[in-house]
Structure 1
Amino acid sequence: MVAGWFAGDGEDFRLLGTRCSACGTVFFPREDTWCRNPGCAGAGLEEVALSRRGRIWSYTDSRYRPPSPYVTDPELPWEPYALIAVELESERIVVLGQASPGITVADLAVGMEVEVVPGVLHEDAETTWTTWRWRPTGVAG
């Protein structure tokens, strides 16, 4: 996906954001130029690893094949996937992402604790595009 948005693997996998040194506002996706807080003129931003866990703020499922640039094989039937908006534990910001494979909207509830895990967005013979996914805590995989 986008370089610099996440790092690590397994239990060390984290989304990466930035924090304004003037007002303490945290951003994801990261900001590298200036503070996006309209009440702050700060420009000192530091990279921060975001919380691995949070609680479901909202969720839905994707029942249609998204348009390009999303990559799908038109020869295969479309498989819906769950989208989850998660309020991060410490930062209290909401981050949207897909659910881990096998997790459907029937498995989710607002307020449920989830954790960020690495996932595969797409792969071909030469490249694997990685991303983040949300998985309910206590679920293996």
Structure 2
Amino acid sequence: MVPPWFTVEGGVTHLVGTRCTACRTVYFPPQQGFCRNPHCEGEAMEETRLSRRGTVWSYTNACYAPPEPFVAAQPYTPVTLAAVELADEGIIVLGQVAGLTVEQLEVGMELELTHGPLADGPLVWMWGAAS
């Protein structure tokens, strides 16, 4: 089962992470069990919604189909990927970019969370141009 890493409510997309109740360290994807912060002995995590905006930390394009066991749509369509530093949490989240090419992206550019279907149908979260 794929964990619920995001939610869409009223057309607005939110990433879902976890936060240690002891030291407040944030994790994405969500974690269970003990806190991985070496300075914390906390053992409880609470679900939390993460920032919807962030800045591009790095980016690339994926011009080749991923290897098995991943099943890519045929024919394979290249995608743009961005590592985005979340505005409030300061963690970096890697995701597909919707509507922008690598030529249009710049380090430091602001992106906003959105969602859309993959080529084979499932709904996924993506980064898009900030409005």
What TM-score comes out, normalization by structure 1 length?
0.84
Q: Find out whether 1:43 has 2:43 as its counterpart.
A: yes
Paired residue for 2:124, among 112, 125, 131?
131
Q: RMSD between aligned alpha carbons? A: 1.7
For the Cα contact (< 8 Å) 1:88–1:94, is it kept in 2?
Answer: yes
For the Cα contact (< 8 Å) 1:53–1:115, is it kept in 2?
Answer: yes
For the Cα contact (< 8 Å) 1:5–1:30, is it kept in 2?
Answer: yes
**Separation of aligned partners in 2, 1:71 and 1:120:** 15
CA deviations over 1:57-79 (Å, ceiling 9, x no partner)? 000111111112332234x2x32
For the Cα contact (< 8 Å) 1:61–1:80, is it kept in 2?
Answer: yes
Three-state SS of the structure 1 residue aligned to 2:58 is strand
**Separation of aligned partners in 2, 1:65 and 1:34:** 36
Report the residue type matching 1:23 in the other structure.
Answer: C
Kindly indicate which of the two structures has a greater share of residues assigned to helix.
1
The residue correspondences of 1:1-141 to structure 2 (distance < 5 A) are: 2-9=2-9, 11-74=11-74, 76=75, 78-100=76-98, 102-123=99-120, 128-138=121-131
Gaps in structure 2 of 5+ consecutive residues:
none
Q: 1:69 to 1:130 in 2, by over 3 A?
A: farther
**Separation of aligned partners in 1, 2:54 and 2:84:** 6
How many residues align structurally? 131
